[in-house]
Amino acid sequence: MKKIVFLLLSITLLWSCNKEEEAPERIQLVDPNNPTDPDPIGLNIDFSNWKVTLPVDIDSDGSPDEYSPSQLDNGAYRNLAALDGFMFDDTDEEGIIFYTQFDPNGATTANSSFPRTELRELINPSNSRDNWSLTDGGILKVRMQVLEASNNTGTGSLNKDRFMMAQIHGIIKPSDVSRLNLTSDAAPPLLKMQWRDGDLFAYKKTLNDESLSGDAIINKDNAVWGDISHNFGQVGYEPFDLEIRASSGRLQVTVNGQTHVFQDISLAKWPFDNYFKAGNYIQTSDPAGYSKVKMYSLEVTH
C-alpha cells in the first residue's frame, strides 16, 4: 500500500513540475492609444523633425493639409483623426502604412500635379527655410515595403503605377531668393528613389550643360536640370533597406547592401540647400491610381 501511495505522489509531483515548465510566458499588453507607453505596439519612429503632407485639403486653404512634428511625435499621430486612411499603424504592429490615391478633387503641392502622403524633414521644426547643404551632409536610413500598387492604365510600358518612396529635395537658399528677387524658393529634387514594376530606381539631377554655373543654374528649369539613373533591381513587395549618404560632390546610395555612388561636376556645382523626404508620392493622374507602402524604421543624422 505504501508503495502505491509513494508512486501516486511521485506522479503528481512530476506532473506539477512539467505544468510549471510549460506555463506560457506572460505578455505585457500595451495600449496603442496611449503614446506614453514605452515603445507602443513595438514601433516608435522619431518624428521630432518631420512633418507630413496629405493628398487632401480639408481646411480649404488651397494647399495640401500638413501636420507638424509636434502633432506626429511620441505616438501623437495615432490620435490624429485627419490621418485616418493615409498614415496609420499596420495591423501587424510592425510598421506604419502610407496610403495615397489620386483624387481629381484632392490636393497637390504647388509644383506637382500628383498626390502624396509623404514626410518632409525639418531640421528646424519651426522654420522650413532652415535646411542643409551638401557640405553639411546628411544620412537617411529607412526600411520600407511596397504592399500594393494600382495597374497602370496610362501610356508607357509599366504594368503598375510608379511612385517615389524617398527623396533628397532641393530648395533655393533664402539668401539667393533675396539676392535674385525670386518669388519662389522651388528647386528640383536632387535624388528620387522610385518604385517601377518592382524595381527600385535612383534618379539624380544633372546639368544638361556642365559648363553652366552660378546664377544660371539656380532654378528648376528642365532645360537646365535633367536626370541620370541607376536601377538597383527588384525589391518587389518585400521589405528593403535604403541608405542615402549625401556629402559635398558625392551621393552614396545603398539598397539591401548594393551600393552605387554618384559623383560628378553637377553635384560639385549643386547650388541648393536640401531636405530628405520619405513616404508615398504616386506619379499618376488616373482616378483609379493608388499605392500603399509600409515604413518600418526611419533615421536621419547630420
pLDDT level of residue 63 (50, 70, 90 thresholds) = confident
Q: Is the residue at 8 inside a domain?
A: no
For residue 114, give the nearest of 159, 164, 59 by alpha carbon: 164
Instruction: Give the mean model confidence (pLDDT) for residues 107-125.
Output: 88
Question: pLDDT at residue 180 above 60?
Answer: yes
Instruction: Give the mean model confidence (pLDDT) for residues 33-40.
Output: 46
Q: Is the residue at 129 inside a domain?
A: yes
pLDDT of residue 113: 79
How many Å is the Cα radius of gyration of the chain?
25
Instruction: Give the mean model confidence (pLDDT) for residues 148-165.
Output: 93
Q: Which is more confident, 288 or 23?
A: 288
Residue 291 to residue 41: CA distance in whole angstroms:
24
Query: Range of 127's domain?
Result: 32-301
Mean pLDDT of the chain: 88
Q: Is the residue at 130 inside a domain?
A: yes
Percent of the chain scoring above 90 in pLDDT: 76
Q: Is the residue at 157 inside a domain?
A: yes
Q: Is the residue at 15 inside a domain?
A: no
pLDDT of residue 106: 73
Q: Is the residue at 185 inside a domain?
A: yes
Least confident of 107-121, 165-179, 215-229: 107-121
How many domains, in total, are found in the chain?
Answer: 1
Q: What is the pLDDT of residues 8-24, one digit of tens each?
A: 344 444 444 443 333 33
CATH assignment at residue 151: 2.60.120.200
Q: Is the residue at 25 inside a domain?
A: no
3-state secondary structure of 3: helix
Q: What is the pLDDT of residues 219-241, one digit of tens each?
A: 999 999 999 999 999 999 999 99
pLDDT of residue 104: 66
DSSP letters for 245-268:
EEETTEEEEEETTEEEEE-SHHHH
**Helix locations, the chain, DSSP H:** 2-21, 69-72, 174-179, 265-269
Least confident of 7-16, 163-172, 185-194: 7-16
pLDDT level of residue 242 (50, 70, 90 thresholds) = very high
Question: pLDDT at residue 165 above 90?
Answer: yes
Contact of 53 with 164, CB cutoff 8 Å: no
Q: Is the residue at 274 inside a domain?
A: yes
Look up the pTM and report it: 0.85
Question: pLDDT at residue 268 above 80?
Answer: yes
pLDDT of residue 3: 43
pLDDT of residue 285: 87
